[in-house]
């Protein structure tokens, strides 16, 4: 890495530029090596819960995870159909936390489209459709996704972006249908694990139930396996400062439900 940064010093004068270029070069090398990696390759669209369940089920050394977070299915399909992608450097000044910036970059570069090996499994969770809001640039007509609390909505932000809000309940069915049709054509014969986030508020419950209803109907057409827990098994992690985090017992219960689905699938195949 040191030699790479030194060689590119003249071309890219700032350290940040050189580090960004190094990361791009490293990503390309990883992508070229992917067909030869002897690991389970998982294409994922997950937040914390989904990633933690993958780690619990497979271990951190046995999988290669290619994740896109904060990518709402309707907005993702807009990009697939040719809408301009967001410019993360324009969004950057308005994002409250540095650790959220990689998710803004993902929305511009769309890592899913650069995977050069068919995934062994696709894993998604429902948090993006539950909570991510769509913000659209007023002049350039591109959009990005973020939680309401992720964004510093000062006067400059309000002048630059429209807040289009959450994905509407009545739009869930069409959005998911369009997305899964594209996904299964792009990655045929690949199982899709869909993890349903438990919710805490009445308004979110309505969204949770509608997502589950739509996904249950779509599993008749697509290889979707829905993973959810009854409320009696959900324990919230009250020691975590962020919302929508759960205890280890709850995560283990999710993994057990995942394993049940796998056993059922094996019996059907046999």
Which pLDDT does position 23 carry in this prediction?
Answer: 72
Kindly tell me the burial class for residue 173, based on how many C-beta atoms sit within 10 Å of its own C-beta (0-12, 13-18, 19 or more): middle
The pLDDT profile of the chain, 270 residues, written as one tens digit per residue, is 455 445 555 555 566 666 666 676 676 666 655 554 678 899 999 999 999 999 999 987 888 899 999 999 999 999 999 999 999 999 999 999 999 999 999 999 999 998 878 899 999 999 999 999 999 999 999 999 999 999 999 999 999 999 999 999 999 999 999 999 999 999 999 999 999 999 977 678 999 999 999 999 999 999 999 999 998 999 988 777 667 889 999 999 999 999 998 876 654 443
Which pLDDT does position 178 carry in this prediction?
Answer: 98
Element housing 144 (H / E): strand 143-146
Q: Which residues contact 116 (CB under 8 A, 6 or more apart)?
A: 31, 32, 34, 35
CATH of domain 39-269: 3.40.50
Which pLDDT does position 29 carry in this prediction?
Answer: 63
> Rounded to whole angstroms, how far apart are CA atoms 122 and 137?
31
Domain boundaries, the chain: 1-36, 39-269
What pTM, to 2 d.p., does this model score? 0.83
Which pLDDT does position 5 carry in this prediction?
Answer: 47
Which residue, 260, 251, 167, is CA-closest to 210?
167
Alpha helices in the chain (DSSP H): 2-7, 15-33, 48-58, 73-80, 88-91, 101-109, 127-131, 155-160, 172-186, 202-218, 248-269
Which pLDDT does position 93 carry in this prediction?
Answer: 95
């Amino acid at each position: 890495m040191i030699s790479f940064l030194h060689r590119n010093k003249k071309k890219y004068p700032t350290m940040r530029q050189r580090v960004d270029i190094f990361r791009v070069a490293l990503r390309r090398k990883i992508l070229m090596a992917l067909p030869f990696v002897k690991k389970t390759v998982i294409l994922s669209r997950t937040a914390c819960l989904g990633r933690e369940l993958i780690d619990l089920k497979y271990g951190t050394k046995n999988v290669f995870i290619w994740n896109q977070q904060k990518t709402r299915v309707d907005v993702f399909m807009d990009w697939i159909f040719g809408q301009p992608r967001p410019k993360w450097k324009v969004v950057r000044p308005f994002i409250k936390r540095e650790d959220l910036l990689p998710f803004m970059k993902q929305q511009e570069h769309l890592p899913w489209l650069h995977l050069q090996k068919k995934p062994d499994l696709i894993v998604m969770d429902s948090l993006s459709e539950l909570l991510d809001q769509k913000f659209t640039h007023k002049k350039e007509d591109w959009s990005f996704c973020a939680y309401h609390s992720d964004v510093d909505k000062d006067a400059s932000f309000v002048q630059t972006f429209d807040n289009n809000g959450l994905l509407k309940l009545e739009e869930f069915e069409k959005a998911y249908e369009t997305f899964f049709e594209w996904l299964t054509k792009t990655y045929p014969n690949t199982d899709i694990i869909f993890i349903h986030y438990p919710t805490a508020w009445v308004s979110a419950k309505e969204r949770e139930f509608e997502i589950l209803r739509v996904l249950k109907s779509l599993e008749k057409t697509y290889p979707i396996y829905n993973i959810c827990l009854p409320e009696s098994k959900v324990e919230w992690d009250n020691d975590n400062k962020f919302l929508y985090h759960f205890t280890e017992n709850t995560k283990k219960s999710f993994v057990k439900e995942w394993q049940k689905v796998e056993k059922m699938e094996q019996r059907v195949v046999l």
